[in-house]
Amino acid sequence: MSTMSEPTSPTADTTTPPSGTAGRRLSTTDLALVAAFAALVAVCSYVAAIPVGGAGVPITLQTFAILLAGALLGPLRGTLAVALYLLLGLAGLPVFAGHTSGPGPFTGASAGYLWSFPVIALVVGFLVRYVVGRRRTSALYVFLACAVGVLVNHAGGILGMSAVLHVSLAKAASFDAPFWLGDAIKAAVAAIVAAEVHRAFPALLRRG
């Protein structure tokens, strides 16, 4: 007595996709988070946009939102959120400080700060995800990561003002000095918020 095996469907795919292929794709939730944090950065650019210092660069809450994006979303999604924000402003939406937009802010006195924004999100996101790791529920450790982001932001701002305004680095640093205290406070608040969110949603950084 012979047995007949069922024919295999030519369309059946029993192969397993290469490891990591699906993991590199952003889900709908990831894209929504990227869009939401881009909007958050835009909103924070309007809050307390007060020009200070010799260069007239305004104080805003942008840094807070960017630090939070990196600390909560990680290096990829955080950087994408900030890049989306910058692209929206470059395209003409008035999302920069002072309701400005277009290419002008990328070449003005505050250009160095703008160019550093994606780097901040990338650095903070990398540190929180891969260096801080499981200790991300501790506001202290997240603050240390955010502090590095603040240093990146100020370094970019000083270099940018020096180049655009044709002043020495020391003079540009004096223009930058009024921002340090406020940014330290923003970093502390961002760290507290991020630590609490990670405590409530421990898998957030493992997404995307």
42: in domain: yes
Domain membership flag for residue 22: no
> Does residue 74 lie within any of the structural domains?
yes
Q: Which region holds residue 48: left if phi is over 0, alpha if psi is between -120 and 50, else beta?
A: left
How many angstroms separate the CA atoms of 168 and 153, rounded?
Answer: 18
Q: Is the pLDDT of residue 164 over 50?
A: yes
Structural domain contains residue 11: no
Determine what percent of the chain is predicted with pLDDT higher than 70.
Answer: 82
pLDDT at 99: 83
Report the range of poorest mean pLDDT among 89-103, 134-148, 186-200: 89-103
Burial category of 116 from C-beta neighbours within 10 Å (exposed 0-12, middle 13-18, buried 19 and up): buried
Share of the chain above pLDDT 90, in %: 70
On whether the CB atoms of residues 59 and 44 are closer than 8 A, the answer is no
| Residue bearing the bigger pLDDT, 206 or 189 | 189
Position 74 pLDDT exceeds 60: yes
On the question of pLDDT at 17 being above 90, the answer is: no
Average pLDDT value for residue range 143-156:
97
- Please list, in sequence order, all residues whose beta carbon lies within 8 angstroms of the beta carbon of residue 130, skipping any fewer than 6 positions away: none
> What does the alpha-carbon distance between residue 133 and residue 124 come to, in Å, rounded to a whole number?
12
Say how far apart CA 191 and CA 64 lie, in whole Å.
9
pLDDT at res. 59: 75
Q: What is the pTM of this model?
A: 0.84
Give how many domains the chain has, as a whole number. 1
Q: Does 16 fall in a domain?
A: no
Q: Is residue 2 part of a domain?
A: no
Mean pLDDT of the chain: 86
Sequence-ordered strand ranges (E) for the chain: 50-52, 57-59
Residue 49 has pLDDT above 70, yes or no: no
| Domain annotation covers residue 208 | no
Mean pLDDT of 134-148: 97
| Adjacent-strand bridge partners of 58 | 51
In a domain, 206, yes or no: no
Q: How many CB atoms lie within 10 A of CB 188?
A: 18
Residue 21 host element (H or E): none
CATH number at residue 156: 1.10.1760.20
What range defines the domain where residue 171 resides? 27-200
Q: What is the mean pLDDT of residues 122-146?
A: 97
